[in-house]
Amino acid sequence: METHYHRLGGDEAIRKLVDRFYDLMDEDPDYYGIRKMHPADLTESRNKLYWFLSGWTGGPPLYTDRFGHPFLRRRHLPFAIGESERDQWMDCMKRAMDDAGLDEKLKAELTAAFFQTADFMRNKAG
């Protein structure tokens, strides 16, 4: 079975998706709630998401090669993440996937997987 990494288009496509995601987060006030959780300079955030998504989608394990197991929930505990933050993150990623021109089937599969992960990050009510 072909991985999401290959179906997305590999390394370059994942970098493009991540860059669009962070560009949207930085530009659109609808995402202020999650943007303020990030440093002013998004370079490291972009790299970490890119490295993570490479392995998460079935490609090279760039994140784990650098940092070991991602322990996503633990790494996100310092940030108050509720439904609003989850939904902002999801909306931003869905827009990035739209802008990247993903086919509908792949987008639906990734949306479901992203939602499961984003929902798991919640650590506050509301």
In degrees and rounded to multiples of 5, residue 121 shows phi and psi of -75, -15
pLDDT at 125: 86
Q: Which residue has the tokens 């987060």?
A: 25
The whole model's pTM is what? 0.95
DSSP 60: -
Q: CATH assignment of 14-120?
A: 1.10.490.10
In degrees and rounded to multiples of 5, residue 103 shows phi and psi of -70, 155
Domain chopping of the chain, boundaries: 14-120
**Dist. CA 18–CA 122, nearest whole Å:** 21
In degrees and rounded to multiples of 5, residue 70 shows phi and psi of -70, -25
**Dist. CA 49–CA 18, nearest whole Å:** 7
Tell me the angle at which helices 11-27 and 43-56 cross, rounded to the nearest 10 degrees: 140
The pLDDT tens digits along the chain (126 residues) read: 799 999 999 999 999 999 999 999 999 999 999 999 999 999 999 999 999 999 999 999 999 999 999 999 999 999 999 999 999 999 999 999 999 999 999 999 999 999 999 999 999 987
pLDDT at 1: 76
